[in-house]
Amino acid sequence: LTLVRVDDARLAFSKLLAVYSDMTKPEPGIHPSAYVHESASVDASASVGPMTVIEAGVSVGPDAQIHAKVTLEQGVKIGPKSIIHSNVHIGRMCDVGADCMIQPGAVIGGDGFGFAPNSENTYQKVVHVGNVVLEDHVEIGANTTIDRGTLGSTIIRKGAKLDNLIQVAHNCDIGENTVIAAQTGIAGSTKIGKNCMIGGQVGIIGHLTIADGVKIAAQSGIGNSIEEEGMVGQGSPALPIRDFKKSYVHFRKLDQLADKVNALSKNLKPQENG
Active-site residue flag, 37: no
What is the DSSP secondary structure assignment for residue 226, as one 8-state letter? B
Residue 248 per-residue DSSP state: H
- Calpha distance 105→204 (Å, rounded): 23
Would you give the DSSP letter of residue 8? -
Q: Please pick, among 89, 137, 170, 250, the residue that the annotation labels catalytic.
A: 170
Contact 134, 95 (CB under 8 A): yes
> How many other CB atoms are there within 10 angstroms of residue 51's CB atom?
15
Provide the H-helix boundaries in the chain.
Answer: 9-23, 241-252, 254-267
C-alpha dist (Å) from residue 265 to 51, 230, 233, 256, 261: 75, 44, 37, 14, 6
Catalytic sites, residue numbers: 170
